[in-house]
């Protein structure tokens, strides 16, 4: 058991250390505060602010959409259609969607966008990432809600509560820590995903001004910088990767702190 | 000798049959439950006590593949009629479960939950309901300074009293108790028993128990179930001293169960 803890912690720490060591020389303030300039990928001036902001926009939008769809879906699967054939079919489909490689979502999104004549844009990226997040969120929330004991629901129904009241007031609250975990899981996958935004969101050196502008993202920034032959630009790739990791870590910590108070009410 | 008050019927169970996936759990049960008395349902485990209790407010509907036939007449309404407003019936019949099951919210919100879903949102009014119900459940003095704390922080005995307060908050007429003291220590169990005993002034109480001594202490009226059948029912005194059926006699003597 101690061994497995060492393996898990060790890999996290070693990833962090490698990225930090390789990226440290490039980790400057301008990296965080400036957008890329024309010669940036040749070693010129600038930073990856465009990619940082882009990733936040993309994942923020996608997560908002995905949560808005996932929460009602998971509640429906559990409280209204729990053991029906429809629910079984939905769960199976979601499990398959979960394991679909993200490039497929990218290509699928791209095909649809071509059909409607939309070019690579923030909107396209948000929708592709939302599709990527949906199965993860729904299934994670679904599993947590399935664990809620019947007697807890019973105590709500016994007071004359409707299904909806029980779902919103009792089940959603009891499931909150698990729901948060599901959202984090999905955000983690979406923010680090390069393949699904490659075709749908495109890449740009500027910060998008509307939903229809193309947008940069951190994973693609890492990819493009690493693909250059210049060591100083490659260092920036590691630095960008480090920024990405810090964003994910701080999201995780922040959400834990935010839900800490609400989690205290959960019945164990 | 205990004086048995003459009382009118509050809930009338008529030819009740319950099947769980083919298993015949209750067989043709017909019995009248008197108003404002404590009726204890006794019998060995698996005899259908809880099934009978949960049929009364149709919480049994939450179980899969269950079929219920017969009539349960409560205040002139057939509870088993699918057209009936079951939410209103459940509001009028509170439930105290076997293990304390507070909701995932604060102590205050647990009690206020019922009134809120039934449309009381005035803070002052809610405050009064919460205080009154916690007092009746004799929990108020222990929790009045920590109403915003999670209900899960209370001890099991306190949680069960909270559940009693929560049930009372929607002003029910009937209290359905499913072995509410079986998961508690003797002192907490005594608390709950005394409160229920006091509450029979205003409420019809149906109490499932497998402890004969508890039934004898609490009950005005006793229903004995065995293997899904109603064997015998009657006032407590006569059930315990002059049971007419040999199976009741054997059960009360402790020969089985």
**Chain B contact present for A7, CB below 8 A:** no
- Does the beta-carbon distance from A159 to B62 stay under 8 Å? no
- Which two three-digit tokens encode residue A112? 């649809």
Residues 6+ apart with CB under 8 A from B20: B63, B65, B66
What is the rounded CA–CA span in Å between residue B136 and residue A27?
A: 65
Secondary structure of residue A38 in the 3-state scheme: coil
For residue B1, tell me if it sits in a domain: no
For residue B53, tell me if it sits in a domain: yes
**Chain A contact present for B177, CB below 8 A:** no
- Which two three-digit tokens encode residue B176? 């359905």
Mean pLDDT, all residues of chain B:
92
> A177-226, pLDDT tens digit by residue?
899 989 999 999 999 999 999 999 999 988 999 999 999 999 999 999 99
* B102-121 residues touching A, CB cutoff 8 A: 102-106, 113-114, 117-118
What is the rounded CA–CA span in Å between residue A30 and residue A49?
A: 9
Number of domains in chain B: 1
Beta B38-42 vs B221-226: how paired, if at all?
parallel
For residue B2, tell me if it sits in a domain: no
What is the rounded CA–CA span in Å between residue B107 and residue B133?
A: 12
The minimum CA-CA distance between A262 and chain B, rounded to whole Å, is 9
**Chain B contact present for A84, CB below 8 A:** no
What is the rounded CA–CA span in Å between residue B228 and residue B48?
A: 5
Confidence band (pLDDT; 50, 70, 90) for A166? very high
State the ipTM, two decimals: 0.90
Query: Residue B5 has what pLDDT?
Result: 52
pLDDT above 70: percentage of residues in chain A: 100
Interface test with B, best of A159, A166, A262 (most B CBs within 10 A): A159
Query: Residue B68 has what pLDDT?
Result: 93
- Which two three-digit tokens encode residue A198? 């490659």
Beta B9-20 vs B66-74: how paired, if at all?
antiparallel
Q: Please measure the distance between the N-terminal and C-terminal CA atoms of chain B and give it in whole angstroms.
A: 27
Query: Residue A196 has what pLDDT?
Result: 92
Do you know the residue count of chain A? 268
Partners of B34 in beta bridges: B9
**Chain A contact present for B87, CB below 8 A:** yes
> A68-109, pLDDT tens digit by residue?
999 999 999 988 887 788 999 999 999 999 999 999 999 999
For residue B102, tell me if it sits in a domain: yes
Query: Residue A267 has what pLDDT?
Result: 86
Q: In what order do the strands lie in the sheet with B23-34?
A: B77-78, B66-74, B9-20, B23-34, B229-235, B221-226, B38-42, B204-208, B174-178, B93-96
Residues of chain B with pLDDT under 70: 1-6, 257
For residue B4, tell me if it sits in a domain: no
Query: Residue B2 has what pLDDT?
Result: 47
- Does the beta-carbon distance from B87 to A160 stay under 8 Å? yes
Question: CA A236 → CA A25, A35, A232, distances in Å?
Answer: 8, 13, 6
H helices present in B46-120, as ranges: 49-56, 86-92, 107-117
Q: Please count the other Cβ atoms lying within 10 Å of the Cβ belonging to residue A133.
A: 28
**Chain B contact present for A98, CB below 8 A:** no
Which CATH number does the domain housing residue B153 bear? 3.40.50.300
Spatial CA neighbour of B134 closest among B91, B169, B103, B93: B169
What is the rounded CA–CA span in Å between residue B53 and residue B39?
A: 11
Mean pLDDT, all residues of chain A:
91
**Structural element, H or E, at residue B198:** helix B186-199
The minimum CA-CA distance between A128 and chain B, rounded to whole Å, is 35
> A38-66, pLDDT tens digit by residue?
788 887 888 899 999 999 999 999 999 99
What is the rounded CA–CA span in Å between residue B75 and residue B53?
A: 17
- Which two three-digit tokens encode residue A52? 């940082």
- Chain B environment of A83 (Cβ under 8 Å): 64
Query: Residue B19 has what pLDDT?
Result: 94
State which residue of chain A sits closest to B86, comparing Cα positions: A160
A258, pLDDT greater than 90: no
Partners of B26 in beta bridges: B18
Do you know the residue count of chain B? 257
- Which of A121-125, A229-233, B147-151 shows the lowest per-residue confidence on average (mean pLDDT)? A229-233
**Domain A44-263, CATH homologous superfamily name and number:** MetI-like (1.10.3720.10)
- Chain A environment of B170 (Cβ under 8 Å): 159-160
Full residue range of the structural domain in which residue B59 is found: 9-253
Query: Residue B127 has what pLDDT?
Result: 96
Interface test with B, best of A84, A165, A179, A265 (most B CBs within 10 A): A265
């Amino acid at each position: 058991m101690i061994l497995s803890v060492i393996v898990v912690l060790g890999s996290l720490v070693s990833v962090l250390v490698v990225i930090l060591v390789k990226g440290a020389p490039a980790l400057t303030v301008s990296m965080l505060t400036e957008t890329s300039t024309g010669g940036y990928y040749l070693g010129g001036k600038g930073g990856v602010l465009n990619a940082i902001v882009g990733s936040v926009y993309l994942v923020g939008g996608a997560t908002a959409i995905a949560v808005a769809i996932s929460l009602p879906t998971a509640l429906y699967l559990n409280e209204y259609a729990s053991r029906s054939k429809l629910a079984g079919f939905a769960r199976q489909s979601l499990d398959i969607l979960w394991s679909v490689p993200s490039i497929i979502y990218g290509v699928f999104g791209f095909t649809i966008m071509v059909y409607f004549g939309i070019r690579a844009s923030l909107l396209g990226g948000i929708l592709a990432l939302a599709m990527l997040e949906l199965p993860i969120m729904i299934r994670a929330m679904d599993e947590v809600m399935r664990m809620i004991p019947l007697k807890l629901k019973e105590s709500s129904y016994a007071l004359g509560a409707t299904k909806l009241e029980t779902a919103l007031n009792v089940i959603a609250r009891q499931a909150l820590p698990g729901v948060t975990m599901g959202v984090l899981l999905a955000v983690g996958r979406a923010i680090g995903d390069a393949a699904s935004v490659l075709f749908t969101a495109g890449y740009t050196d500027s910060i998008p001004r509307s939903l229809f502008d193309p947008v940069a993202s951190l994973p693609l920034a890492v990819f493009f910088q690493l693909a250059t032959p210049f060591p100083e630009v490659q260092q920036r790739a590691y630095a960008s990767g480090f920024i990405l990791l810090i964003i994910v870590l701080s999201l995780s910590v922040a959400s834990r702190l935010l839900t800490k108070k609400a989690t205290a009410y959960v019945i164990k | 000798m205990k004086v048995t008050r003459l009382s009118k019927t509050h809930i009338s169970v008529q030819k009740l049959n319950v099947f769980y996936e083919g298993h015949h759990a209750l067989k043709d049960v017909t019995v009248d439950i008197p108003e404002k008395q404590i009726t204890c349902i006794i019998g060995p485990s698996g005899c259908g006590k809880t099934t009978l209790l949960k049929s009364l407010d149709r919480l049994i509907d939450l179980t899969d593949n269950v079929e219920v036939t017969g009539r349960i007449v409560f205040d002139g309404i057939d509870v088993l009629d699918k057209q009936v407003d079951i939410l209103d019936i459940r509001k009028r019949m509170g439930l105290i479960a076997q293990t304390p099951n507070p909701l995932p919210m604060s102590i205050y919100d647990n009690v206020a939950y019922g009134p809120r879903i039934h449309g009381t949102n005035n803070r002052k009014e809610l405050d009064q309901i919460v205080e009154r119900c916690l007092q009746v459940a004799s929990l108020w003095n222990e929790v009045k300074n920590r109403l915003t704390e999670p209900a899960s922080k209370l001890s099991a005995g306190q949680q069960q009293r909270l559940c009693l307060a929560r049930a009372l908050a929607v002003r029910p007429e009937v209290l359905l108790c499913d072995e509410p003291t079986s998961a508690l220590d003797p002192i907490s169990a005594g608390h709950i028993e005394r409160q229920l005993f006091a509450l029979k002034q205003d409420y019809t109480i149906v109490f499932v128990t497998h402890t004969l001594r508890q039934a004898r202490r609490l009950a005005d009226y006793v229903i004995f179930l065995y293997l899904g059948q109603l064997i015998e029912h009657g006032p407590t005194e006569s059930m315990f001293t002059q049971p007419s059926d040999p199976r009741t006699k054997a059960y009360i003597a402790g020969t089985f169960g």
